[in-house]
Amino acid sequence: MKVFNMPSITDVQDNDDCYLGQFIPLHYHHHMLISEYRMSAFKSAIEQTVFPGAKVLELGGGTGVLSWFAATAKAEKVWCVEYNPDLVKEANRLLQLNTDSENIELIQGDAFTYLPPEPVDLVICEMLHPAMLVEKQINVIRQFKERYSQQISNNLPRFLPEAVILAVQPIQQNYIFMGFHAPIIEFQIPIAPQIDTTELAPPQVYSYIDFTKDMSEDFNWQGTFTLEAGSVNALRFITKNILCISSTDNEITEWHNPHMILPLPEPIEAVEGDLLDISFSYSAGGSLSHLQNSIKATLVRRWQNIIDPTKE
């Protein structure tokens, strides 16, 4: 068997092409456009947050579809910023095919440095990846808020999404494929049945990110799970995006990123009631390998049935 050395995930993400996390090719955007689950959630949230006459900024516009949702919701002006020049050309072509795009200004620009020419009411930023890895959502929003407060206005605009909840869960994952054992990173569609996954404990929240408040780019967490019987061979990372909260009835419009499943180096056999100590650390926008290599999972105690000899 010949092995050819290829760049690692970390090496690839250090390239200029991944300056903002990753360049998503146009054909991959098709997967996002055909996802009714994703599209309907963002369309609903934008319709709830954009009012007639609103001024909207989108950072990381991609095909321009979210900016178009804002325009059709009667925004007065939409600035759509995209870093990838090839995707800007495609977005321009696509927007010209759609009515109600006249108020959208498409800009080839850097989300880390761009500022709108005037105050805006809403900032849309969908640089979202499971566990807030790879893409630079937190990093971009942090720097935007600093620049905006210093150069535009002390009154920050609303953000969409408004918040993100991150959770982790020990699971038993089936890694046998036609008899071939292959424990590899997987991504699950949140709303689909997961017949190959056995949950061994309820998920625990390890971070709540409010984009209107101060945010850290570093995640350091340690927690303990009480397990069901099974073989803990992976951790499932759950990313729940709070797109908007209604100001009238506090109803939440949410969207989950695909669940990310990271296999453990070795399975941990557990009986019901065992305690599992989990810890990990990583940086927002960092590589998957950074998180995976930091994970520590230890069976810390096994409950035993204790018989009191003084009692019959």
Superfamily of domain 9-126 in the CATH hierarchy: Vaccinia Virus protein VP39 (3.40.50.150)
Q: State the SS3 of the chain.
A: CCCCCCCCHHHHHCCHHHCCCCCCCHHHHHHHHCCHHHHHHHHHHHHHHCCCCCEEEEECCCCCHHHHHHHHCCCCEEEEEECCHHHHHHHHHHHHCCCCCCCEEEEECCCCCCCCCCCCCEEEECCCCHHHCCCCHHHHHHHHHHHHHHHCCCCCCEEECCEEEEEEEEEEECCEECCEECCCCEEECCCCCCCCEEECCCCEEEEEEECCCCCCCEEEEEEEEECCCEEEEEEEEEEEEEEEECCCCCCEEEEECCEEEEEEEEEEEECCCCEEEEEEEEECCCCHHHHHHHCEEEEEECCCCCCCCCCC
pLDDT band at 19 (very low <50, low <70, confident <90, very high): low
Q: Across the chain, what does the average pLDDT equal?
A: 90
Residue 164 has pLDDT above 80, yes or no: yes
Residue 263 has pLDDT above 50, yes or no: yes
Residue 39 has pLDDT above 90, yes or no: yes
Q: Which sequence spans correspond to the domains of the chain?
A: 9-126, 163-301
Tens digits of residue pLDDT in 273-285: 999 999 999 999 9
pTM above 0.85, yes or no: yes
Residue 13 has pLDDT above 50, yes or no: no
Fold of the CATH domain 163-301? Hnrnp arginine n-methyltransferase1 (2.70.160)
Residue 145 has pLDDT above 50, yes or no: yes
